[in-house]
Amino acid sequence: MKKTKLTILLFLMSISLFAQPSNSVVTEIDYFNALRYTGARNIARTPEGYVVVAYEPSFSGYTSGQIWYAYFNASFGTWDISELSSTSTNQTGVPALVADDAGFIHASWKERITLDSGERQLMYSKLTFNDEFTYTWSTPERADTFTFNNPGVNTISLDDSDNPFMLYSIWDDGSVYDANVYSTNRKNDGTWETNNLTVEFPTPNELPFTYMDVNLATGSDGEMFAAWEDKPTEIVNQYEILFSHYTTSAGWSTPEIVSPIFDGVGIDKYVDGYTPVDGAVAIYNMGPADYQLAGNTTVIYNETSTSKSIVSSFNPYHAFPEANQQQYLTDVIAFFGVTNADSILLVDDDNRYNNEGIIKTAIETLGIPYRTFDCGDNGGMATNIPTYADDLSGKKLVIWFTGDEYKELAFWNISDSDNEELKTYLNDSGSQLFVVGKSWMYDRYGNAPDTLNAGDFAYDYLGISMYNVQSWTDDGNTGVPQLDKVDNALGVSTLETIGWKNSGTRQGVPSIATDPSYKLHMVFKDDVDGTIKYQAYNEGTWSDAIRIDASADTAYVDRPNIAVDPNYGVYVIWREETAIVDGRTLYNVFYRTSPDGGDTWNEPVQLSAADYIDGSGYSTYRATLGIKVRPEIAGKFIGGADVVWVEASEASSMGYYIMYGNIPYVGTLTDITDKGGIPNKFELGQNFPNPFNPSTTFSFSIPNREFVTLSIYNALGEKVADVVSKDMQAGNYEFNWNAEHLTSGVYFARLTAGEKMQVRKVMMLK
């Protein structure tokens, strides 16, 4: 598929001797998600300076069934727009790009094979540049080796021999496909192999959601690294970063958790409490005694002249380990005196996830006949409600499962908004009701009232006089470690104190990259404190995570991406809240750089300049960073990291632009030259010039192959730069070091190679 200068030129920009200006338009789109996911790097640049952006165009609000690309022609100052691949099924997705150092750009994407099945295939193609005006994509080929497949989010990278690796999720429920994280790579003989990374851990054949970001980075001697977020235990809504590495001898390692953020099990952090009416009994109270909402009831029992009810304002499926879930439900059913001669109606009203399976298991374990009534709809307003005549009458126990999604439930919101059918049942002598889940109060009132009165269903039948809000989001009261069982004679549960957990806490959307020594650098979103964190992995050890965004504590940040240049400069981007406009949030793209491999960091900089929020609430979205960071390329590229994002704009007739941005090159070590010959001694030459401003040239000689480091220290002995850290052959070398980020003063350059070390005094004068 040859593409020449005859390709459509959609956007003209001023001609430049270098690259496209930062904050410039790539193309116009009408789908904000045309760039998909942080893992799928959508921009790549070759060593010659040729740069390409891949994306999914859209018509009528969804993808067009094509993969398009935009190539920047530096001579004309234009982005040339062309089609890379199309399919008759109109089902493609998630293009990703990576450039190698030989001048090729590699692409991956998914596409649907037939309309009568959900099968998709993972595709691969390689772009070759003959010159600035003539470039050719190889015929797309299927890369995965499945007989039947459905790849989801994918990304592409290269090993150190430029063999392509693709990482992707298959996210179905396992009835058709095994839902796991997979890798496909091309072997030296040109064939493809596919591997399952999560067949053993953390949850084989299960993924927590469909849009899992996955990330790849290159190691040495064919090694690759992979990172993604997953739910590594049975605790729901607890996401952590999983890490695996690949070697040619052993394949992918069993995934490991990078930094566990929870150790133990318990109930949801965000639990609401009640004050019982006179006569109602608390079963579990919030604790401990010094908590400001201590004593508020989270499980309450009420008895009227005709009925009995228990209300649990936590969801047992999300609350306990499976054994405790079974025990709690069994205890409640036994408390109500239900036997296998009776009948239970289980009302499925969680409206989305169908988590009532654990309740079914408990009932079936006891051998009690039951029937399930599904209130329906799966995400929107529930459409059905059990009637007294057809469903409720004669039941020994009604278990109403509302879940905790805060969706539109049948419990309050169908035509009998005052629960007339349920009231009729509870007015029958001997009726019993067990309400399970946190959602029910929200769905009657939107936000539950503080006080209930006689005549309200919750007051009359459930025994609740006041609603005591802990919060359905984090209100800062993080010190609640437990629910305390109330000392009473009910014997509802054999479970005593129930421990707390950080439900909903997440370390996610990791992004990884390696430096020239193959040290791994990672950034991720940490929902524990709402920040962007950075940490490094070297020789089997993870460093402590440090915060690198500098936003106000109240500003929302997300979607970090990382890259490292050939001279150990580190580049991180993320999206950050910058303003609230008419009640809507404006987001912009920020970056932060480290000139010395993550040891020190420059101040954060806002890259995008968005000031518009469209009618759907979007401003900037899906920023992604090229894996390869290039130095200056004379006449074509100013140097630095390439960034693209989607930005809403009133000026766009289609609603959105794909925008381009540039982060200036920051690597401290800007040039290394092998001067040839094998030296007979180890030596660090004096830098020249000295004093210098802001750059200087060093020379050194190493007589044997060694792992070489060159570090710069200030007068206090503090390391301020790690400019060389790599395995090097014997030889004589010259290099130029740019110290623009440092202040004037005396510094010391220390060269080490094996057991040898030499120090030179250097001086910078600005």
- In this structure, the answer to whether residues 67 and 212 fall within a common structural domain is yes
Query: What average pLDDT does range 79-98 have in this prediction?
Result: 82
* Residues 549 and 645 grouped into a single domain: yes
Q: Mean of the pLDDT values across residues 667-672? A: 50
Backbone angles phi and psi of 310, in degrees to 5? -125, 130
Within 637-755, strands assigned E span 641-648, 656-663, 669-674, 683-684, 695-702, 706-714, 719-728, 731-738, 745-753
734 & 653 share domain: no
Same domain? For 659 and 688 the reply is no
The tokens 């000295």 sit on which residue? 690
Give the pLDDT band of residue 271 (cuts 50, 70, 90): confident
Pairing of strands 120-129, 135-137: antiparallel
Does any domain span residue 18?
A: yes
The answer, yes or no, to whether residue 62 has pLDDT greater than 50, is no
Percent of the chain surpassing pLDDT 70: 84
pLDDT at position 237 over 70: no
Dmax over CA atoms of the chain, in Å, equals: 100
pLDDT over threshold 60, residue 4: no
Domain final position from 499, 519, 551: 499
Average pLDDT, the chain: 84
| pLDDT tens by residue, 94-147 | 899 999 999 999 999 988 776 566 678 889 999 999 988 899 999 999 998 887
Q: 317: Cβ–Cβ under 8 A, 6 or more apart, which residues? A: 236, 325, 355, 356, 357, 358, 359, 403
pLDDT value, residue 153 = 81
> Rounded to 5 degrees, what angle do the CA atoms 380, 381, 386 make?
130
Domains: count for the chain: 3
Domain harbouring 746, CATH code:
2.60.40.1930
Residues 517 and 487 in one domain: no
Domain boundary residue, one of 638, 663, 688: 663
Tell me: do 307 and 196 sit in the same domain. Answer: no
Q: How many angstroms separate the CA atoms of 174 and 176, rounded?
A: 5
Least confident residue range of 23-27, 41-45, 409-413, 666-670: 666-670
Task: Note whether 516 and 443 are same-domain residues.
Answer: no
What are the structure tokens assigned to 258, written together?
A: 């990078």
Beta carbons of 584 and 613 less than 8 angstroms apart: yes
Q: Check if the beta carbon of residue 53 is closer than 8 Å to that of residue 658.
A: yes
Q: Which domain holds residue 148?
A: 2-262+505-663
**Amino acid in the structure at residue 356:** E
Instruction: Write out the two tokens for 311.
Output: 């209300």
The single residue listed with the structure tokens 């459509």 is 8
For the ranges 23-27, 125-129, 418-422, 603-607, the lowest mean pLDDT is seen at 418-422
pLDDT at 656 over 80: yes
Task: Identify whether 267 is part of a domain.
Answer: no
At 503, is the pLDDT very low, low, confident or very high (cuts 50, 70, 90)?
low
Average pLDDT over residues 191-210: 87
* 489 shares its domain with 512: no
Mean pLDDT of 394-404: 90
* Separation of alpha carbons 43 and 622, rounded Å: 12
Q: Are residues 656 and 724 located together in one domain of the fold? A: no
Q: What are all long-range contacts of 10-16, with beta carbons under 8 Å and residues at least 24 apart?
A: 10/79, 10/81, 11/78, 11/79, 12/77, 12/78, 13/77, 13/78, 13/79, 14/77, 15/75, 15/76, 15/77, 16/74, 16/77
pLDDT value at residue 139: 94
Query: Over 60: is that where the pLDDT of 195 sits?
Result: yes
Residue pair 709/691 in contact (Cβ under 8 Å)? The answer is no
Same domain, 533 and 557: yes
**Is 667 in contact with 566 (CB distance < 8 Å)?**
yes
- Give me the amino acid identity at 416: D
Supply the CATH number for residue 85's domain: 2.120.10.10
pTM of the model: 0.67
| Same-domain pairing of 438 and 569 | no
Domain contains 458: yes
The C-alpha atoms of residue 753 and residue 707 are separated, in whole angstroms, by 6
Same domain (yes/no): 296, 254: no
What's the pLDDT tens digit per position in 687-698? Answer: 888 888 888 888
